[in-house]
Structure 1
């Protein structure tokens, strides 16, 4: 039964929303979770490459616009669990240096208002919540941690092990990617049969081995009678009191009707782009430029990493791995004697879809089909830090659509290019260790503006209300009861996948709310 008034209304059910939902659920407070989409059904199409990748079966069909007014379809998902339903489950902690101000040749990475040490206990909690598998101490630049990973590294296939060992022989220090998965062999979930990981990056997982925000967070929260979930519900604006210093209501459009729910506390977790858009849509006489926007920072400093894929086509080497996403190369993450500037990191990723492999491999092997090309290729994911730029921002078009202005070309492209070259140079060394790697052809792609899976930064937190939107507890400086727990709060992006940091911060904010607000 839906009520008219709630103690807490939470908007969004992704990594931040799902995590804080399960944190607050045992409090007994009356909580309403609002999700713009619905549950992804368990169906054979979950792992159908054509349906998921080509047709975008589960992606939003909403049109956004770029800085020049050109329309595009963002790679985002309005579903219970948010984008975590299709994430690759890589769960990294940011490094201690990521919390400090750092100068780079092409920009500055600003300091956070909290230190790594302050977030570290919540990283540990998030790793437990998401059943993260890894090997503590194998990462060259790993930050301090009080406990080992909850589980050891995911089982490694022979090809991935062979490649891992060869990379180590070149002098680099690869380490198993910390993965948020729930494996039967952990004797925790389905101990009667082993879990074999397959389609992962970009796919929902009907087996629920992937530990996403729905499986670990929303489902747990809904076990409590004080928690309700509203799906297919779009929050059009937040309503404030006459003084403009508190949110009193949330206006929701659902199935052709509009209703306003009253609330004591509102938590926004709709993703960095949509959370900023919501505050902009909620402008009032007291907040003429958007809610909580006295600083003019709402929507600014959008970051999404410089991401892309490089595929090494290896005609003399057969890749037998069904799940190749095993290790990361973090040697270039921080400056070193051989690397004067931080570049980022390189991961093995899930196999690309046949159409992509065919388009990238055909120029080298015109007589080979997609199956041969896939079996003779190794897919890598590269990430360089995206620096905050106030001109990279979320705004609204005159008719209320999202406009995403992003100047990628003037960001950290030098480091990203260097990272690509590091990977190509690595394979030259591999060829001296194993002649089967001696002949390599390279194909790849960079993510454009539609690649918003690592979105962050649009409502950054800080100590100074003149330069930030949120305070250190992720409460809006200008409103007494408005909190944000998605990637919006990041003042800098680092160069690792943001999901674990979002979850850790949501646990931190949830603890604050339980101890001091609710």
Structure 2
């Protein structure tokens, strides 16, 4: 199985190949193997249901190029999502998503915060309101704890004044700051802030460990020290009996004549079209691709897209207001290997957003944003910088949406609630300069940076105002569920991965009950 790059610990019988057949039957079909799909497969492992995960990609090879940023950022070695289109200009762009087993978690920085309690309520922002969720923090809290144990999260609860209550402690102590970041944390404390050790699923002990994964925020990790959906969740699910089909693209869902149930998924697998029948169908392909699949599954009973009686399918696309923020002291180098250990939420309840460190930037990572700059200058800058990711909440808007036109996926997106983000950048600029980094460089993220996308099939109690019910089942189609961030009624201002996984655990018993 080495030619398929299948991880150690798996045998050939976990892969569904559809050899010689045109139809496959299962109990639960999960479309997508990212955080939501993999967690749901794991959660159903003891249900007695036959579970099949279908992934359009394959296992990402573990190779030296994983940790070499020039291959990731300059040569695009692992970019395989093709093109989407900007609805405003009609121009194509390469989205920041990846079609590999484990989805985007193969490339994430393993930052796994819980959403704050206020994120589940209606919140007034400068430019509008974020919607309340149809369930609260307490409904998700025990599942957060399970996800933290699954992903081996390192953290603590006593530093961040916005941290919500935990019924269980983090399974591992926080990763300590390296000297430069500890010095920066001290400078922030002296300014009256509360820097905290971030909840992080990087399992490093020595400085050599950190050096081995220093590019793991944005690049794949070939060491296994970064917890992701593949190595910590899907592999155990497959070992427990779930099946996986790779390199299979589900192109549409087919309903019964009355349109009330899905009876099959049609998938392109190699040079063949196969049909997959199931009792329950779960879409977890990411907020854009999930919505696009349902829109492309329109039929006579669902002329505007499958499960779209509300007209909201594909709408309310959110992707955060985000800025890469680099502070440079030309007279001081930063030898930090794993920088992503510090965060600040002092501005969070002011609805300005979150500050977290990036993995340590290197020159090839900076080149796409500063193509005109020579590599020697970028290297000088990167070796003397601290690197920060600033995130503010954007708001649901019907006009921000996913559309399809044949094979084209179109994104209509106009940033909103930007004044709060500008204020966050302004405040952090003052703070970082005062901390000893006089030169500030910023880069706003554009339409192509959509790793935190959500909201295209919002959950709610009113079928006229939502696509899904509170357990993420379609209001219109009895056996159709979504298990990615599509259901988010609001985006919060934090990394969504842990919340996606916790929600998959929350809805799993309902899906299991529907099978029986």
Cα distance in structure 2, aligned partners of 1:380 and 1:264 = 46
Task: Identify the match of residue 427 of structure 1 among 427, 432, 442.
Answer: 432
Once the two structures are superposed, the pairs formed by residues 77-88 of structure 1 within 5 Å of their partners are 77-88=98-109
Aligned match of 2:381:
373
CA contact (8 A) 1:328 1:345 kept: yes
Aligned match of 1:33:
53
CA contact (8 A) 1:361 1:443 kept: no
Cα distance in structure 2, aligned partners of 1:195 and 1:347 = 18
Aligned match of 1:449:
447
Q: In the TM superposition, what whole-angstrom CA distance separates every residue of 1:405-457 from its partner, at most 9, and x where no partner exists?
A: 0011xx01101111111111113432xxxxxx1x6111121111011100100
Q: In the TM superposition, what whole-angstrom CA distance separates every residue of 1:362-413 from its partner, at most 9, and x where no partner exists?
A: 99x999643332121111100000100000000012x2310010011xx011
Unaligned runs of 5+ in 2: 1-15
- Structure-2 change in CA distance of 1:366 and 1:31 (3 Å): closer
The number of residue pairs the alignment matches comes to 493
Once the two structures are superposed, the pairs formed by residues 227-246 of structure 1 within 5 Å of their partners are 227-246=242-261
- Structure-2 change in CA distance of 1:321 and 1:235 (3 Å): same
Aligned match of 1:413:
418
Cα distance in structure 2, aligned partners of 1:455 and 1:105 = 21
Cα distance in structure 1, aligned partners of 2:392 and 2:221 = 28
Once the two structures are superposed, the pairs formed by residues 253-332 of structure 1 within 5 Å of their partners are 253-332=268-347
Cα distance in structure 1, aligned partners of 2:77 and 2:299 = 37
Residue 84 of structure 1 and its aligned partner are, at CA, apart by 0.6
Task: Identify the match of residue 390 of structure 1 among 384, 398, 402.
Answer: 398
CA contact (8 A) 1:60 1:74 kept: no
Once the two structures are superposed, the pairs formed by residues 118-517 of structure 1 within 5 Å of their partners are 118-183=139-204, 196=211, 197-225=213-241, 227-335=242-350, 342-355=351-364, 357=366, 369-397=377-405, 399-408=406-415, 411-430=416-435, 437=436, 440-515=438-513, 517=515
- Structure-2 change in CA distance of 1:360 and 1:206 (3 Å): closer
Residue 154 of structure 1 and its aligned partner are, at CA, apart by 1.2
Cα distance in structure 1, aligned partners of 2:375 and 2:67 = 28
- Structure-2 change in CA distance of 1:368 and 1:395 (3 Å): closer
Cα distance in structure 2, aligned partners of 1:267 and 1:502 = 14
Unaligned runs of 5+ in 1: 186-192, 336-341, 431-436
Cα distance in structure 1, aligned partners of 2:138 and 2:463 = 24
Cα distance in structure 2, aligned partners of 1:459 and 1:183 = 37
Aligned match of 2:94:
73
Aligned match of 1:56:
76
Cα distance in structure 2, aligned partners of 1:201 and 1:76 = 14
Residue 152 of structure 1 and its aligned partner are, at CA, apart by 0.8
Equivalent position SS for 2:46: helix
Larger mean CA deviation between 163-172 and 54-63 belongs to 54-63
- Structure-2 change in CA distance of 1:52 and 1:320 (3 Å): same
Equivalent position SS for 2:43: helix
CA contact (8 A) 2:433 2:439 kept: no
Cα distance in structure 1, aligned partners of 2:422 and 2:259 = 47
Cα distance in structure 2, aligned partners of 1:69 and 1:163 = 44
Equivalent position SS for 1:27: coil
Cα distance in structure 2, aligned partners of 1:359 and 1:316 = 25
Equivalent position SS for 2:145: helix
Aligned match of 1:338:
none
CA contact (8 A) 2:202 2:225 kept: yes
Larger mean CA deviation between 275-284 and 150-159 belongs to 150-159
Cα distance in structure 2, aligned partners of 1:516 and 1:355 = 49
- Structure-2 change in CA distance of 1:458 and 1:61 (3 Å): closer
Equivalent position SS for 1:310: strand
- Structure-2 change in CA distance of 1:421 and 1:182 (3 Å): same
Superposition RMSD on alpha carbons, in Å?
1.9
Cα distance in structure 2, aligned partners of 1:358 and 1:292 = 43
Cα distance in structure 1, aligned partners of 2:140 and 2:346 = 23
CA contact (8 A) 1:324 1:351 kept: yes
CA contact (8 A) 2:367 2:375 kept: no
CA contact (8 A) 1:64 1:71 kept: yes
- Structure-2 change in CA distance of 1:61 and 1:476 (3 Å): closer
Cα distance in structure 2, aligned partners of 1:446 and 1:372 = 22
Residue 517 of structure 1 and its aligned partner are, at CA, apart by 4.3
Residue 195 of structure 1 and its aligned partner are, at CA, apart by 5.8
Q: In the TM superposition, what whole-angstrom CA distance separates every residue of 1:219-266 from its partner, at most 9, and x where no partner exists?
A: 1111133x2111110000001111110111010101111011111001
TM-score (ref. length: structure 1): 0.92
